[in-house]
A and B are shown apart, each in its own frame.
Chain A
Amino acid sequence: MIEKLCIEANQLLPKDVGQALRCCRRQEDWEIAQGVLDQIIENFEIARQEQVPICQDTGMACVFLEIGQDVHITGGALSEAVDEGVRRGYERGYLRKSVVKDPLRRENTGDNTPAMLYTEIVPGTHIKISVVPKGFGSENMSAIRMFKPSHGLSGIKDFILETVEAAGPNPCPPMVVGVGIGGTFDKAALLAKKALIRPIDSSHPDPFYRDLEKEMMEKINELGIGPQGFGGRTTAIGLNIETMPTHIAGMPCAVNISCHVTRHRTEVI
């Protein structure tokens, strides 16, 4: 299953992302930006037809498992099974092996393992598997900051804009922006990553954050960075915010940047 999801996620752009790109193309009135968006749309169509990766950075394989608490897994270690799926998917799908064994000594593992595995125990009898290949051109432009509560909403807004501004042309704009606010240092980063998996045509259920998502999208698209940073309206095609409770003394905020090839594929077994 993970093998299949690795391959499909890299070849098939999620519907919501494709629709957002087409919608932005219609709204874009700047010539050079229109040309870039046309190439981007043509590219993901070629990838689907020829069954080749949309982007050569086929990413680190982030795997999210929501495991029903009534499920009993037998026959070996779960993490090894996930890595074996990634290994097969990246080999059989002709995907790039982009993982090094050690962050400083940098020898390639040769099979794109290990997966970045996240497990969550949920009620039920099923396992929901999401494979999220994450490219590093955009991952490198992400940021996290531990705010004081006194920084308030304006501090968060400035930080989001500052992060997008600093990313500029590097993360292959138009980008998708995932924002995580609350929790602890690590939870905020995880929330930001989860925000990238939520469909970009969806909104936060809380009207306060729904409005903030809309406002920040508009502000980002007034920056003028544009597709590939050549100038234009379309700097972002989506922005999702995920939140959770936090400590009385803190207000962590993480901004995870993704590119126009924001990929994910989910199945339930």
Chain B
Amino acid sequence: MEKHIRLPLTEETARSLHAGDTVYLTGTIYTSRDAGHKRMCEALEKGQPLPFDPADSVIYYVGPTPAKPGHVIGSAGPTTSGRMDAYAPAMLSVGARGMIGKGARLPQVIEAMKKYSGVYFGATGGAGALLARCIKKSELIAYEDLGAEALRKLYVEDMPLVVIIDSEGRNLYEEGRAAYLKHHTK
């Protein structure tokens, strides 16, 4: 199914999304990858606040290239999400609801998604130039010293995504492949 979603990503909206849905996302999202997640989880352990309010937020696993003059951002496609698996359950537990990335997730992340009504979206890996066109605003909000890994607040319009894992734990990587193989081995 094709759906147009406006952020923030409420529990109700999250629960209405299912693995395999095509989603066009509009609203504010936050970027973070390996080093940013490590710092945010260290802050959570110390009881310190995060650089943004995690409630109903969507985090995009991306480290963009520098913006050319006149551009909002450089190329900005997803990075491999599995490297954030160590941090994702903690982020979900404080209210972060959506994750945008690519690649497989560990069972403990999927369990946390079921518990906290999380959604894992896939953006097309390697399509950084195409995805950058959906990003209308970009603002550096924290961890500037991390360079490409710094935290950014982005405003996106109709960002093309696919729901890979939904809040019930259904997984497009398993279902999509199985459906294709079933269809082609008839």
Q: Report which A residues bind B (CB closer than 8 A).
A: 30, 32-33, 35-36, 39-40, 42-44, 46-47, 50-58, 94-98, 106, 108, 110, 137, 140, 168-170, 172, 224-226, 228-233, 259-261
Whether the Cβ atoms of B75 and A229 lie closer than 8 Å is no
Which residues of B sit under 8 angstroms from A98, Cβ to Cβ? 63, 148
| Residues 73-114 of B at the A interface (beta carbon under 8 Å) | 74-77, 79-80, 82, 102-104
Which residues of B sit under 8 angstroms from A50, Cβ to Cβ? 129
B51 within 8 A of A: no
Contact among A58, A106, A259 for B65, CB-based, below 8 A: A58
CA distance A232 to B172 in the complex (A): 12
Residue of B nearest to A140 (CB): B80
Whether the Cβ atoms of A55 and B177 lie closer than 8 Å is no
Whether the Cβ atoms of B80 and A224 lie closer than 8 Å is no
CA distance A228 to B176 in the complex (A): 11
B154 within 8 A of A: no
Whether the Cβ atoms of A53 and B126 lie closer than 8 Å is no
CA distance A30 to B176 in the complex (A): 10
B44 within 8 A of A: no
| Residues 129-181 of B at the A interface (beta carbon under 8 Å) | 129-130, 132-133, 146-148, 160, 162, 164, 172-173, 175-181
Whether the Cβ atoms of A39 and B127 lie closer than 8 Å is yes
CA distance A110 to B147 in the complex (A): 8
Which residues of B sit under 8 angstroms from A231, Cβ to Cβ? 172, 175-181
| Given A43-B128, A172-B126, residue A56 in contact with residue B74 (CB < 8 A) | yes
CB distance from A231 to the nearest CB of B (A): 3
CB distance from B66 to the nearest CB of A (A): 5
Whether the Cβ atoms of B102 and A172 lie closer than 8 Å is yes
Which residues of B sit under 8 angstroms from A224, Cβ to Cβ? 177-178, 180-181, 184
B118 within 8 A of A: no
For this complex, 16 residue pairs linking A to B, each with C-beta atoms less than 8 Å apart, are A32-B20, A40-B126, A53-B74, A56-B63, A56-B77, A94-B68, A95-B66, A137-B125, A169-B103, A170-B102, A224-B180, A226-B180, A230-B172, A230-B176, A231-B175, A260-B126
CA distance A226 to B179 in the complex (A): 12
Whether the Cβ atoms of B130 and A46 lie closer than 8 Å is yes
Whether the Cβ atoms of B129 and A47 lie closer than 8 Å is yes
Whether the Cβ atoms of A55 and B75 lie closer than 8 Å is yes
Which residues of B sit under 8 angstroms from A47, Cβ to Cβ? 75, 128-129
B62 within 8 A of A: yes
Which residues of A sit under 8 angstroms from B76, Cβ to Cβ? 56
CA distance A224 to B66 in the complex (A): 36
B35 within 8 A of A: yes
CA distance A176 to B71 in the complex (A): 31
9 A-B pairs with the lowest CB-CB distances in the bound complex, closest first = A231-B176, A172-B125, A231-B180, A170-B103, A43-B130, A43-B127, A56-B128, A47-B129, A56-B75
Which residues of B sit under 8 angstroms from A106, Cβ to Cβ? 35
CB distance from B36 to the nearest CB of A (A): 13
Which residues of A sit under 8 angstroms from B129, Cβ to Cβ? 43-44, 46-47, 50, 52-54
| Given A52-B68, A56-B77, A170-B82, residue A259 in contact with residue B125 (CB < 8 A) | yes
B67 within 8 A of A: yes
Whether the Cβ atoms of B104 and A169 lie closer than 8 Å is yes
CA distance A166 to B177 in the complex (A): 14
Which residues of B sit under 8 angstroms from A233, Cβ to Cβ? 180, 184
CA distance A264 to B114 in the complex (A): 42
Whether the Cβ atoms of B126 and A259 lie closer than 8 Å is yes
CB distance from B158 to the nearest CB of A (A): 13
B124 within 8 A of A: yes
CB distance from B166 to the nearest CB of A (A): 14
CA distance A42 to B179 in the complex (A): 26
| Given A43-B129, A54-B126, residue A96 in contact with residue B66 (CB < 8 A) | yes
Whether the Cβ atoms of B176 and A52 lie closer than 8 Å is no
| Given A94-B65, A137-B79, residue A53 in contact with residue B124 (CB < 8 A) | no
Whether the Cβ atoms of A96 and B65 lie closer than 8 Å is yes
Whether the Cβ atoms of A229 and B177 lie closer than 8 Å is yes
Whether the Cβ atoms of B162 and A32 lie closer than 8 Å is yes
Whether the Cβ atoms of A261 and B65 lie closer than 8 Å is no
